């Protein structure tokens, strides 16, 4: 019920000004999205199906740009700390089988998506069920991620593949 109230307010009623961008995450939190700490969320977020905001977890310090879509009917999307999510990124935890079975149609399966700490997902990327984007990894704009992206690598393309390694910061 809270999603019905707070999601539209966060998405459409709060003006898009810098000061309010830093507090919009509170409304998403009230709508049921599990946010630890502070996050900067421009919105609007599309969450499908309605009532599944609880299947989204966002870590402290994460930035989420505009028009991001979460398809989370059963499985979860977990985004770590200090991540950057570009505009129009899609997280899809549901997929269908390739073979049509009479009476069952194509069937479907649900798998979670995990984006580990300090990862960057470029604009328009699509993350499909069951993938993990490793710590510090970068997914290029427009990539379709069908399998795991190792930590500290750059992945891009359709389907996404590792393009190069990133030197991790010294601890």
Average pLDDT over the chain, rounded to whole?
94
Residue range(s) defining the domain that contains residue 13: 2-165
**126 in any annotated domain:** yes
* pLDDT of residue 171 exceeding 80: no
**46 in any annotated domain:** yes
**68 in any annotated domain:** yes
What share of the chain in percent tops pLDDT 90? 79
**95 in any annotated domain:** yes
Domains in the chain, number? 1
Query: What pLDDT, on the 0 to 100 scale, is given for residue 85?
Result: 98
**130 in any annotated domain:** yes
**170 in any annotated domain:** no
Q: Which residue has the higher pLDDT, 87 or 23?
A: 87
- The catalytic site residues sit at 96
* pLDDT of residue 104 exceeding 80: no
**13 in any annotated domain:** yes
Structure pTM? 0.93
Specify the CATH number for the domain of residue 19: 2.160.10.10
In order of 58, 62, 103, 113, 159, the CA distances from 81 in angstroms are 7, 6, 44, 15, 26
Contact 28, 53 (CB under 8 A): yes
Query: What pLDDT, on the 0 to 100 scale, is given for residue 142?
Result: 98
**171 in any annotated domain:** no
* pLDDT of residue 90 exceeding 90: yes
Residues across the chain:
171
């Amino acid at each position: 019920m809270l999603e019905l109230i707070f999601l539209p307010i966060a998405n459409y009623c709060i003006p898009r000004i810098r000061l309010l961008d830093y507090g919009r995450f509170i409304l998403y939190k009230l709508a049921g999205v599990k946010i630890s700490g502070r996050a900067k969320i421009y919105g609007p977020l599309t969450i499908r199906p309605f009532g599944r905001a609880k299947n989204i977890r966002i870590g402290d310090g994460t930035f989420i740009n505009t028009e991001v879509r979460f398809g989370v009917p059963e499985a979860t999307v977990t985004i770590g700390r200090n991540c950057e999510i570009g505009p129009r990124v899609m997280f899809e935890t549901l997929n269908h089988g390739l073979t049509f079975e009479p009476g069952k149609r194509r069937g479907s399966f649900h798998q979670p998506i995990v984006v580990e700490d300090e990862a960057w997902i470029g604009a328009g990327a699509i993350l499909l069920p069951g993938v993990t984007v490793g710590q510090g990894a970068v997914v290029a704009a427009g990539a379709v991620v069908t399998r795991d992206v190792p930590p500290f690598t750059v992945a891009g393309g359709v389907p996404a593949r590792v393009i190069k390694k990133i030197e991790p910061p010294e601890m």
